[in-house]
Chain A
Amino acid sequence: MAHGNNSKEKVVYVGDTRVRKGNGFITPPDYSAYPGKSEAFIPNFLLKEWMVGVVVLVGILVLTISEPAPLGFPANASATVIPIPDWYFLFLYQYLKLPYASGDYIVLGTLGVTGVAFGALLLAPFLDTGRERRFYRRPIASSLMFLSLAAIVYLTNTAWTEYKHEMAETGQIPEDVQREEKAAENRAKGLPTSSAVKAKEVAIIDKDDPAMGLFKQATCISCHAADLKGAGGPSLRGVGDTHDKEAILTIIKEGQGQMPKMYDTALGAGLSDQDIDALADWLAKQKSEQ
């Protein structure tokens, strides 16, 4: 441990700024009593922090107004896109391309060097246990950090340059730029600007078939709706995918699940056996893909 092995050693707080313990509230020493030495957190010090905060906030707002957050085209496994992570992962991305960090040495790349570097960073206080705080008096720790920083800057820069180069070589434009241009073009023409994939609706096949009228007459529409999309009962669009004509006839005659036997109802509504046959035939043709 940092204090050596003697656990009874008194911990020395460097530059102790804690409020002293006491009975109830202790009036902190008035900052004016130590001119130029210290000041209260609220309002004096926090105000300075907030001044910077205000500038940062205005900066963020200006950025969000001038630069919309990028959005490409919907994910598509067969698209050809150079997979590029967010900028702060670029150094890792590039590092894993290096010969000794990829291929046979991939374990060294992912766990070895990266693991050691991040582990060392996490445990820095236990590795660098000296009492010296000034960085120029801690040559090993400081130079390791400078080296890492240089490596990160170098790798990030290389990754970005290579990415730009590859994009130029393959003639690719970043998708978010493409999407924005497309949207702007469509907006100018008054077309929908969305790039989202719309769910395809299964169409009714043979809309003009007389069976459509029979479907209505036989009161099927009460539960399956006039557009076949279903209401109380399930949708019948694309029902031919899973049921052939025989199966449909069986369901009409014997019912299924919640659906009662509808055969007599249909006859009562004025359909003939032939009509019901034609209806089942038409329903069996309802397939989602031609």
Chain B
Amino acid sequence: MSSHNDQQDIWPEQPPSRKEMSRRQFLTYTLGGATAFMGAGTILPMVRFVVDPILHKKGAGDFIKVAEISKITEEPQEFTFELKQKDGWYDSTATLTAWIRKDAKGDIYALSPICKHLGCTVGWNNNKAHPDEYHCPCHGARYTKLGKNLEVAPKPLDQYKTKFDNGWVLLGDIVPNTVASEEA
């Protein structure tokens, strides 16, 4: 109701008889109410329409079965999996790759092979000059087993969120690396 009050504020003092003022005021309030109703009736559906994306439940819980836990070794292995993406009216399938290994304690983690330098795809042990390292053929960026950046790249390799279920490794969203800092 504030809008009517504003309107009243800026109305200069008018001295006519009290009866006339109150009639005018009543009409003004009614007009304000009608205007507010029309504005709301028009705008609210459109606002709801346009904020729809933020009211959708995010696919945060989307984990995809990628590999059997029994097959994971201390040597990183490459696994590819498909992620169905729904982007409005556009459905697509993104093929993602993860390098999965378990460390000495048996903790399993999965690294994203997207080079943190310029977004090429890194590979494990694919350069004879640098054994047992992730190497990016584009500009020679190198990473350790844990994804720690050794050369060229500014940041360690990203990780997938992992979950374990019924003997399977499930991978979720890509998050910044948390294991690389453990390396002395």
| Chain A residues in the interface with B (C-beta under 8 A) | 27, 30, 32, 42-44, 46-47, 50-51, 53-54, 57-58, 61, 194, 196, 198, 201, 216, 219, 221-223, 225-227, 229, 231-232, 265, 268-269
Contacts and interface: CB of A to CB of B under 8 A. Distances in A.
- By Cβ-Cβ distance, the 9 closest A-B pairs, closest first, are A227-B95, A43-B27, A43-B31, A50-B34, A43-B28, A222-B121, A47-B31, A222-B137, A219-B137
A172 to B, nearest CB: 27
Interface residues of B, number: 34
A258 B77 CA distance: 29
A55 to B, nearest CB: 11
A194 B86 CA distance: 13
A50 B126 CA distance: 75
A225 B95 contact: yes
B139 to A, nearest CB: 10
Contact of A223 (B34, B78, B121): B121
Contacts of A27: 14
Given A30-B16, A32-B20, A54-B38, A47 B27 contact: yes
Nearest to B35: A50
B110 interface: no
Contacts, number: 77
Contact of A53 (B34, B45, B95, B118): B34
Contacts of B128: 268
B31 A232 contact: no
Contacts of B126: 219, 269
5 contacts: A32-B16, A53-B38, A221-B121, A222-B121, A265-B137
Contact of B38 (A42, A57, A219): A57
Contacts of B16: 30, 32
Contacts of A221: 121, 123
B160 to A, nearest CB: 15
Contacts of B24: 43
Nearest to B89: A196
A231 B41 CA distance: 47
B95 A229 contact: yes
Interface string B119-136: 111110011100000001
Contacts of A32: 16, 20
B2 interface: no
A145 B78 CA distance: 80
B95 A51 contact: no
Nearest to A64: B45
Contact of A226 (B42, B91, B97): B97
B38 A222 contact: no
Given A219-B126, A269-B126, A57 B120 contact: no
